[in-house]
Structure 1
Amino acid sequence: MLIQFSVTNFLSFRDEVILSLSTNKDNSHKENLLFYKNERILPSVAIYGANAAGKSNLHKAMRAAIRMIRSSNNLQIDQPLLITPFLLDENSRNNKTKFEFIYVYNGIKYEYGFVLDTQYVWEEYLYEYRSSKPSMIFERSNINTYRFTSKSKPQLSKIVDKNTSNKLFLATATSWNSDLTKDAYMWFSNMVDTYDSQNLEELMFKEFEKNDNSLNEFILHLLQKADINITNFNYETNEQLKIMTSHQVIENGKKQEYELNYFDESNGTKRLFTYGPVLKNALENGKTIIIDEIDNALHPAMTKSLIEMFQNPNINKKSAQLIFNTHEISLLDLNLFRRDQIYFVEKDNKTGVSDLYSLDDFSPRKSENIQKGYLQGRYGAMPVVNLEDIEW
């Protein structure tokens, strides 16, 4: 369960921005909330903003940090790190990038962060919360200077020499069987994922190869929920995966069934197919998923239905979370979301710097028309369209 993510100096985010899934004291939609001890956590977050404002850059920041952790052990000595800082001022382009996560795994709350550039990991730290106060597991500074507690030192100090200046100690220690870092690492390995249109379809094909009948049932339920005229589908996983959908129509007063190839279906239908494995996996295992442009090719009612799956405790029994960006303003509704579930990304066109902030910062009334306020520019994060000064 993700509680907070922050990033500094990555792509258009020059200054630190914080995405918090920890709630305020507002009791709106309290039946939808997730819990860690006495802390209330959001099941979903929607992120809005104009084109090129930086919404996808936040998605890329989370993806880059997670991939860095997962792939750290595969790095060769002196292999460059694929990090792009803010490039539109001289100081930032030569400065370091920072990522930090606060999350819960196996009933323990962790705080993990690291600072790096394209060559070295300069700082890194891991804390756990066995009580209300954090306890250090390790701290790293100046690339290769480490601090441990009397409890963690006997085990972790032996692993320092196994690490290199471009690798994350969290990943290295876990690969050397440290039980002090294992759970903190496994959350990144198994419990959080980022998705966009490029990897959704590839993942779906891999999942179908497992021949999981329950996945078929889940996808068919999604399709029928969307009122799509598909009564069934089947697939073959020989040399190449082939999906055939069954459509029932009335022909000459009689019911007839015809098959279509998956690739002949509409983009919206194909998108629901690709969401099937992702949503099923998240809901069954309590994962946090981050989706770029969730509404791509989907009707607003269907997008809303997907979000409501995570906000329904009868469906979301394992505390899964959904973080997504979207342009779909019909979802800007306080009957669907709490005020702290709606975020905006706005870019300063004079500096190129993106900022991230919550609707809750504006303290709108619960009866306020959020859609109207957003379109009127009341919360920022709207494009300024001026066609009059353009020569056509």
Structure 2
Amino acid sequence: MLIRFTIENFLSFRDKEIFSLLPSKGTLKPQHKTKPVKGTSVLKTAVVFGANASGKSNLIKAIEFGKELILKGTKAEQPITFDIFKLDKKSIKENSRIEYEIQHKNKNYAYGFIFNSKEIIEEWLFEINKKSEIKIFERTNSNQYDFPALSKKNNKNELQFIEFTAKGTPRNQLFLTQIRNTNIKENVNDISDILNVIDWFQNALTVIYPNSKTVGKKFELLENTDLKNLFTEMLDYFDTGIDGIDFKEIEFKKTDLPDEVIEDIKNDLLSDKSEKKGAFLSNPQDDKYYIITKNKENELEAKLLKTMHKVVGGTFELFDLKDESDGTRRIMDLIPLIIDFFKGGNIFIVDEMERSLHPNLIYDLFDFFLEKCEDINSQFIVASHESTLLTQKLLRKDEIWFAVKDKQGASHLHSLEDYNIRFDKEVRKDYLLGRYKGIPKLGNRNKLTVLPFNND
């Protein structure tokens, strides 16, 4: 679970901003909170509202950036690719900062790093509790390390191996990445805390954009009949007009997937460190929908998903996904997310959740998650323009966030919890009127001089 995320000098975020999933003292909707881990509960959902270019998507990009930097790393002698805040000359010369506070494997951690395009300046990992913190490791002055907690768990030779690995970490590489890419686990007694954090990024956190094509995480392939029934029930529930689905086995190499997608799938499914058993994905080149799994020989297999529509006479006609509406294809992308959400232990961060979907469907999807999540520890974090979600009947005040830009173009985050409003007040109208900011400031249409207006 994500507890808090801190960002500074990254994309449109100039100043230090904190996105928090810590619940306030309010007692409403207690099922929206997880059971405490070492005294800390977190919220299971949050929605970030804001105008176009306010910073909503940049917040999500920042969260994904750390994940990609850990799991993929940076090539030797290559720059760390990212954009700082460019609208202030002071920011151009300053370093950037990202920190995650997370909950995983029944522990709470704070992991973060300070960096620029050339190197990692600082990096740290602490186990955090309400009244104390334990330093697992800290990296300062680019490549100076301190391992107080690890030195207590490992003998002298094992600690020397850890220190040797640290010294071999390139300046443009995170220590976590170096740990992930070496066989250090086989040479030391206990680095479980570091491995827990890596596992959170690899197997718990999923970021989904409007055009994301790979979906699904710890998907354990069900028997075909169960999977067909599950999809059929969900597609019927969402009123798609589809009467069922079917699978057609094909050779993986005949899917004609883009090279970068194939690489992502191989990394996700064939890695020894991955818990993923399969993946759902739609091919952007042919709008076909595939289920990819690995067999006992650790080879990838593919099945093409077809939708079924009843025709006159009681028979069924099979359709490719390209023959369905944009909204239906979006729902198909979300069904694996729904499956994994209710398995627990997953964090889904979705940008523009509302794309191609009816407002009533979006509202019902949130209501569905929150009604059934009492014993489920998963998170659903969304950036959206869909104002029908902006109601205290659905969400707590601390689950509603706004992204706004100041006059210098810097993004800021604040929560509805910052406002003194009653628990029963409907906030959507006030939001659209601008009380909570986060709405577009439109110009004066009478100042438009180029368009050929007809004023007759």
- Normalised by the length of structure 1, the TM-score is 0.91
Match of 2:419 among 362, 365, 370: 362
Kindly provide the CA deviation profile for residues 134-189 of structure 1, in whole angstroms up to 9, marking residues without a partner as x: 10001111101112214268423232223111111123234322334111221111
* Residue of structure 2 equivalent to 1:197: 210
Match of 1:183 among 196, 200, 204: 196
Shift of 1:213: 5.2
* Residue of structure 1 equivalent to 2:101: 102
Where do residues 16-95 of structure 1 align in structure 2 (5 Å cutoff)?
A: 16-37=16-37, 38-72=39-73, 75-95=74-94
* Aligned residues of 1:219 and 1:272 also touching (Cα < 8 A): no
Q: 1:148 to 1:57 in 2, by over 3 A?
A: same
Within the alignment, does 1:233 sit opposite 2:232 as a pair? no
Shift of 1:258: 3.2
Kindly provide the CA deviation profile for residues 54-91 of structure 1, in whole angstroms up to 9, marking residues without a partner as x: 1111111111111111112xx33222111211011111
Letter paired with 1:77: A
Shift of 1:274: 0.9
Where do residues 286-305 of structure 1 align in structure 2 (5 Å cutoff)?
A: 286-305=345-364
* Aligned residues of 2:126 and 2:135 also touching (Cα < 8 A): yes
Work out the percentage of aligned pairs sharing the same amino acid: 29
Alpha-carbon RMSD: 2.4
In 2: Cα distance, 1:13 partner to 1:66 partner: 18
Alignment: residue pair count: 384
* Aligned residues of 1:215 and 1:276 also touching (Cα < 8 A): no
Kindly provide the CA deviation profile for residues 22-57 of structure 1, in whole angstroms up to 9, marking residues without a partner as x: 100001111232122333311110010001111111
Structure 1 segments of 4+ aligned residues over 4 angstroms from their partners = 206-215
Kindly provide the CA deviation profile for residues 91-134 of structure 1, in whole angstroms up to 9, marking residues without a partner as x: 11222111101111110111101011111000000001367311
* Aligned residues of 2:210 and 2:353 also touching (Cα < 8 A): no
3-state SS in 2 of match to 1:104 = strand
* Residue of structure 1 equivalent to 2:178: 172
Kindly provide the CA deviation profile for residues 257-299 of structure 1, in whole angstroms up to 9, marking residues without a partner as x: 4333211111110001011222322321420110010111111
* Residue of structure 2 equivalent to 1:345: 403
Letter paired with 1:358: S
- Deviating more after overlay: 17-26 vs 157-166: 157-166
* Aligned residues of 2:32 and 2:373 also touching (Cα < 8 A): no
3-state SS in 2 of match to 1:42 = coil
* Aligned residues of 2:54 and 2:405 also touching (Cα < 8 A): yes
The gaps in structure 2 that reach 5 residues or longer are 186-190, 256-289, 291-303, 452-456
3-state SS in 2 of match to 1:36 = coil
In 2: Cα distance, 1:163 partner to 1:213 partner: 48
* Residue of structure 1 equivalent to 2:188: none
Shift of 1:234: 1.2
In 1: Cα distance, 2:12 partner to 2:82 partner: 13
Match of 2:163 among 154, 157, 162: 157
In 1: Cα distance, 2:440 partner to 2:17 partner: 21
3-state SS in 1 of match to 2:28 = coil
- Deviating more after overlay: 278-287 vs 3-12: 278-287
3-state SS in 1 of match to 2:446 = coil
Shift of 1:225: 1.4
Letter paired with 1:225: Y
Match of 2:327 among 263, 268, 274: 268
In 1: Cα distance, 2:392 partner to 2:100 partner: 27
* Residue of structure 2 equivalent to 1:372: 429
Q: 1:180 to 1:56 in 2, by over 3 A?
A: closer
Q: 1:158 to 1:11 in 2, by over 3 A?
A: same
